[in-house]
Structure 1
């Protein structure tokens, strides 16, 4: 019996070409705004809005067009992503104001180590901060303000220091349960954050360990052998207690609490610690400058762009253009390996185009999930999420217009003795963790290591 042809609620003038034209306008406009005009997230909102207007113009049934936009936003995934973004932003803000960074610097100051170990220490500090806060940009901003001037004073190669800071910051951005990339990648693939983080740990640890060794080796090669003199504030040591929060978050998720509930508990503990330790005055807690308000507001732009992207995705999805493209790709994919390679290069190219690993996953995540649905016996949603996240985060640490490179270049060039010509070319060769993520996931795809067959899983459980 012949299978009935699937019908779609919206059609466009120009057919599938018209639907993809809206997406093409969005991608081209975002690249122009970011690479030529030097814009940011807010300029992306304008481009995405105009792309949605073009969709309205090309839609044959404008009412159906609007209805499908709203239906797309009513999906549970959208709500989970946005609520998790706001809760993660709140926790990140509380950790930033807690004095945790200063506490870690104080710990380093007590070690009185050889200057050759300072780059790896910067890497490890960023690993802790980014894993706790879930943001690479925040970790780069906070740590570079301390470690880059220190590198200048101690004669440490600034490129090596910048590479270590970016690498450590990308580590947590890729792995942390509260990272917006982790949330977006898991939700778009229909996997739980807990399972995604659990299966991502081996990749992160392997690449992180290799990166740490390289920073030690190169740091010692470049070192004069003297001891680093670092000033630390002993009064900040009490803030080390905030390191327990990521542990609590992961533990509660493993107990089945779910991301949002675990984030709420972690935020409540962070507020309690902040008030008890005197980090936040009770009067400030309810002011407009409260970390509670600023933390959630800080994620508003990300949430709005995610909303607009998810609306844009409805154009090819509800018209059949996405199914047609996925079918075309699948017809040329001879195996799950080739499908994963498509996901790999989509994540890379998307991050280069948008300079945002989160937006890349929100944009391409639904397509990758649909692509993998044709390999039900071999595809694992956690693996798809890990490929998307690892490649996008790694790429974001390597591109000159990415936030990590832009922030640290500005900080480094403000240090006395660093030439104005200092750029990402001076540290791109030292961003070992970023290169490592790209390499390990490519090798995993090509060799099949880490790929789980569902049939085998069922048999092993029988």
Structure 2
């Protein structure tokens, strides 16, 4: 099969972005000092100034290529989904659905199951919310309280919380990583979920067993954890409708509307105030939506400059099988996540490349979407400079690296993902 070798010059914008982002973060001591949007904007400016050795395009022509890449239909749809997911999260928080999920888990948690129970609550909450950061913020005060009452290392319980948070970040139907993985590979969420859950289930089981043998106990009172089953209706609707295969846009819309109705009936906000709640939720996803468009435009320029073909050629030069192709995809998204500390951005960036690799070697798109999500989420939960560990460490008043070594689930995700790739699935087809 003839393949285009591409040009290294097409990778220069990506290299500049990674060097800037990693360099500023490491030298300044905080990766917040180089916002992703600014880094991508600089890389885009560089890409607009470059040309392939064999041609010379004007700035206007390069801008046209950028706009075409940013306006790709999959990306525009992804932006709409991001905005609706933000609206859903805003409404769910405003109507106290998040509190109900946490308190429901705590009320049914046996005292001798506190550690595996804490992990399961994190899984349930993150799957319902679709955000690892929100899960860490909601559960860390509970984890710190457990540590103080039992004498368990606070870094240990913090690692459990972060692990549970990454479970939902990887699998939730409203998680931005799931949205990015499914849209870039053009597969349905339910299909990706079925493949993905098989991929990580061994990691969940092993993690639960490891936590169970620790077996500390603490007295819990169900009376201290009030919840409303009615408040869970929006989450149930989103999960059930997604599983039956309904399009994600109406699913998100139904979730938002149901949350507004319940919130108004319970007096959490008025119908007029709900508009502000929706808007605040949308604003929380605003940066991610813009980043998705900029990355799409940047990838379009890199593709035109030959960078994508060059990267594909190098990644697949030793990938002579489906397994080799899948390992290449896992390595690519992991590298990007380590560099950017953002699993969604790493998926958006790696997605088009991964799709080309999948088509080249006949890899199922469902497997590709799962691999992208699993490896990016796993590494994001293990980076001491990523948001999840930084927030947990700040609340627990310990070092992020102390927590990192106790996030067993993320480590097990990587192991389980590699086993999943090496075993393969000969029955699965595109």
TM-score strictly above 0.5 = yes
Distance 1:327 1:136 in 2: 35
Matched, 1:132 2:166: no
Distance 2:245 2:371 in 1: 24
Q: Residue 51 of structure 1 corresponds to which residue in structure 2?
A: 43
Distance 1:78 1:185 in 2: 11
Q: Residue 19 of structure 2 corresponds to which residue in structure 1?
A: 28
Worse overlay, 36-45 or 309-318: 36-45
Cα–Cα, structure 1 residues 22 and 106, in superposed 2: closer, same or farther, change >3 Å? closer
Worse overlay, 307-316 or 39-48: 39-48
CA contact (8 A) 1:194 1:250 kept: no
Q: Residue 375 of structure 2 corresponds to which residue in structure 1?
A: 391
Matched, 1:295 2:288: no
Cα–Cα, structure 1 residues 408 and 121, in superposed 2: closer, same or farther, change >3 Å? same
Q: Residue 312 of structure 1 corresponds to which residue in structure 2?
A: 298
Matched, 1:100 2:97: yes
Within 5 A, what are the aligned runs for 1:205-244? 205-218=201-214, 220=215, 223=216, 225-228=217-220, 232-234=224-226, 237-238=227-228, 240-244=229-233
Q: Residue 10 of structure 1 corresponds to which residue in structure 2?
A: none
Q: CA deviation at 1:369?
A: 0.8
Cα–Cα, structure 1 residues 149 and 389, in superposed 2: closer, same or farther, change >3 Å? same
Q: Deviations over 1:18-53 (max 9, x none)?
A: 322111111111212333331439722112111111
Q: Deviations over 1:251-270 (max 9, x none)?
A: 32344431111111111111
Distance 1:197 1:349 in 2: 23
Q: CA deviation at 1:397?
A: 0.6
Q: Residue 265 of structure 1 corresponds to which residue in structure 2?
A: 254
Q: CA deviation at 1:112?
A: 7.7
Q: CA deviation at 1:142?
A: 1.2
Give structure 2 stretches of 5+ with no counterpart: none
**Larger Cα-atom Rg:** 1
Q: Residue 340 of structure 1 corresponds to which residue in structure 2?
A: 326
Cα–Cα, structure 1 residues 244 and 282, in superposed 2: closer, same or farther, change >3 Å? closer
Distance 2:76 2:34 in 1: 21
Distance 2:317 2:160 in 1: 42
Distance 2:108 2:349 in 1: 45
Give structure 1 stretches of 5+ with no counterpart: 8-14, 414-421, 458-462
Q: Residue 354 of structure 1 corresponds to which residue in structure 2?
A: 340
Worse overlay, 18-27 or 356-365: 18-27
1:151 to 147, 153, 161: 147
Cα–Cα, structure 1 residues 99 and 451, in superposed 2: closer, same or farther, change >3 Å? farther
Q: Residue 62 of structure 2 corresponds to which residue in structure 1?
A: 65
The two structures, once aligned, show a CA RMSD in angstroms of 2.5
CA contact (8 A) 1:95 1:132 kept: no
Cα–Cα, structure 1 residues 230 and 427, in superposed 2: closer, same or farther, change >3 Å? farther
Q: TM-score, normalised by structure 2?
A: 0.91
CA contact (8 A) 1:132 1:245 kept: no
Distance 1:284 1:23 in 2: 43
Q: CA deviation at 1:242?
A: 3.3
Tell me the secondary structure at the aligned position of residue 35 of structure 2.
helix
Within 5 A, what are the aligned runs for 1:416-427? 422-427=398-403
Q: Deviations over 1:243-300 (max 9, x none)?
A: 33333223323444311111111111111111112222334224xxx32011100001
RCO higher in structure (CA 8 A, sep ≥6): 2
Matched, 1:251 2:227: no
Distance 1:347 1:176 in 2: 19
Tell me the secondary structure at the aligned position of residue 338 of structure 2.
helix
1:164 to 160, 166, 185: 160
Tell me the secondary structure at the aligned position of residue 187 of structure 2.
coil
Within 5 A, what are the aligned runs for 1:357-436? 357-376=343-362, 379-413=363-397, 422-436=398-412
Distance 1:168 1:217 in 2: 18
2:421 to 433, 440, 445: 445
Distance 1:42 1:194 in 2: 36
Tell me the secondary structure at the aligned position of residue 40 of structure 1.
helix
Q: TM-score, normalised by structure 1?
A: 0.85
CA contact (8 A) 1:112 1:229 kept: no
